[in-house]
């Protein structure tokens, strides 16, 4: 099949062809368009059945050109006889099921998920040889593969569907990861594991645009190392966050000092401009504290590194009056930061930065419903954790959820 022809196929047929050509174990398949059925053009079908379907059964899978815009399971797959009559019957039944049994599901997806209008007569069909075995659905949830098993062993016995992170065959994880690596997006995959243990890939669906709460939480989450709190009534809270990065503040101040001393393109800053930068930061903290009754502080850097502190307090030593004004402003800023932190009921920071609680902070009546939480990550993970927060784009004003697991290790994620 030429590349141009491949691109015109519906997603279900196109992805299977890509995977088959890449060497994945995909059963032989034939895609028939709605036009093929209208014209009664079954020459390719008859040849396919002769070559690949010696048994009396085949699987017919719906393949509407717009099916990728609908959730998996909206349209049906049916077993049928391995002849033209059986496949024509299966297509008509798939159309009838969509028109009747799946009508409400289709209407709801059109209303709430923006799925496009459908002409059900445009449903095409994928034909595959029937494979006896276990059906397994696979998808990546967060950072872990999830496998759903469904098996009918006979007409008298049926296994209940179940989900596991540990498939019966490790190859399922390896194949699934290889598929996503090739296609470059998150997929929901369907396998048939034959009675001989062969793993056949029979469907791949692009789910990269499907957002679930669990995916949102995981993709935006940062796992910390512990939590200090007095009361343990609840294991979850949501808060707006103020992102504090005092190291960056001092770097900005030092840069302005360099421009003042050594010059820069355009007008150099004055000492008043530098002090105004500190004042603006203090005003930002105050406005935030007055906007939210309860809030969290995410301390990417609260304690300023000693070397930056010394540089900022001595960079303008050649102009003692300017340096005195700057040092005074920086000293006052330390108290402003402490005052702001004292108003937060949730502190998220490196382990070595701890909040000292007085009895009112720990046991006062105001802490019954909203006790003080201090979440932390270990000092040796500081660069890793801060890099992840920055990479995920946490900003002041974001709302975060904090979920404390059974191991008492909190996970924070942006809502």
Contact 150, 161 (CB under 8 A): yes
Same domain, 228 and 348: yes
Structure tokens at 134: 């276990």
- Of 74, 96, 130, the last residue of a domain is 130
pLDDT (tens, 9 = 90+) of the chain, 415 residues, equals: 555 567 789 999 999 999 999 999 999 999 999 999 999 999 999 999 999 988 889 999 999 999 999 988 889 999 999 999 999 999 999 999 999 888 888 988 898 888 999 999 999 999 999 998 888 989 887 778 988 887 654 444 445 567 788 888 899 999 999 999 999 998 999 999 998 889 999 999 998 876 554 555 556 677 777 776 655 556 888 999 999 999 999 999 999 999 888 888 888 899 999 999 999 999 899 888 888 888 899 999 988 888 999 999 998 888 899 999 999 999 999 988 988 888 888 999 998 666 665 544 544 545 556 678 888 899 899 999 999 999 999 999 999 999 888 788 899 988 8
Domain holding 36, by residue range, is 28-130
- Shared-domain flag, residues 235 and 125: no
Is 122 found in the same domain as 253? no
**Predicted TM-score (pTM) above 0.75:** no
Nearest to 247 by CA among 301, 205, 202: 301
End-of-domain residue from the set 72, 105, 130: 130
Residues in CB range of 201: below 8 A, 6 or more apart: 16, 19, 24, 25, 26, 175, 179, 189, 190, 191
**N- to C-terminal Cα separation, the chain:** 45
Both tokens assigned to 22: 């890449």
| Cα–Cα distance, 100 to 307 (Å, whole number) | 72
Is 102 within the bounds of a domain?
Answer: yes
Residues 272 and 381 both lie in one domain: yes
* Euclidean distance between CA atoms 326 and 314, whole angstroms: 9
The residue among 151, 144, 124 whose CA lies nearest residue 62 is: 124
Would residue 85 count as lying in a domain? yes
CA-based radius of gyration for the chain: 31
Q: How many domains does the chain have?
A: 2
Residue 112 belongs to some domain of the structure:
yes
């Amino acid at each position: 099949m030429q590349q141009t022809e491949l691109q015109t196929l519906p997603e279900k047929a196109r992805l299977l062809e890509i995977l088959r050509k890449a060497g994945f174990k995909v059963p032989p398949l034939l895609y028939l368009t709605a036009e093929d059925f209208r014209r009664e053009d079954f020459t390719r079908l008859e040849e396919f059945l002769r070559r690949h379907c010696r048994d009396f059964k085949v699987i017919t899978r719906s393949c509407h050109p717009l099916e990728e815009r609908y959730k998996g399971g909206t349209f049906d797959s049916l077993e049928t006889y391995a002849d033209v009559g059986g496949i024509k019957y299966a297509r008509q039944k798939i159309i009838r099921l969509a028109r009747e049994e799946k009508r409400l599901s289709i209407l709801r997806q059109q209303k709430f998920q923006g799925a496009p209008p459908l002409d059900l007569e445009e449903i095409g069909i994928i034909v595959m040889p029937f494979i006896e075995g276990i059906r397994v659905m696979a998808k990546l949830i967060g950072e872990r593969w999830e496998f759903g098993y469904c098996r009918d062993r006979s007409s008298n016995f049926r296994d209940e569907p179940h989900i596991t992170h540990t498939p019966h065959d490790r190859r399922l994880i390896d194949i699934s990861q290889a598929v996503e690596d090739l296609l470059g997006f998150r997929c929901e995959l369907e396998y048939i594991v034959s009675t001989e243990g062969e793993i056949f890939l029979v469907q791949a669906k692009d789910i990269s645009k499907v957002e679930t709460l669990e995916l949102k939480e995981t993709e935006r989450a940062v796992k910390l190392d512990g939590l200090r709190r007095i009361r343990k009534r609840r294991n979850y809270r949501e808060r707006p966050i103020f992102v504090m990065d005092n190291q960056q503040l001092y770097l900005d101040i030092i840069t302005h000092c360099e421009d003042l001393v050594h010059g820069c393109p355009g007008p150099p800053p004055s000492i008043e401009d530098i002090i105004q930068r500190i004042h603006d930061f203090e005003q930002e903290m105050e406005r935030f504290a007055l906007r939210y009754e309860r809030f969290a502080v995410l301390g990417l850097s609260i304690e300023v590194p000693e070397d930056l502190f010394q540089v900022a307090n001595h960079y303008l030593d050649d102009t003692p009056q300017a340096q005195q004004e700057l040092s005074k402003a920086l000293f006052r800023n330390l108290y402003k930061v402490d005052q702001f932190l004292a108003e937060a009921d949730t502190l998220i920071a490196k382990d070595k930065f701890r909040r000292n609680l007085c009895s009112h902070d720990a046991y006062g009546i105001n802490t019954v419903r909203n006790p003080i939480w201090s979440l932390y990550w270990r000092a040796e993970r500081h660069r890793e954790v801060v890099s992840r927060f920055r990479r995920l784009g946490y900003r002041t004003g974001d709302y975060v959820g904090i979920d404390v697991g059974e191991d008492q290790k909190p996970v924070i994620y942006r809502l």
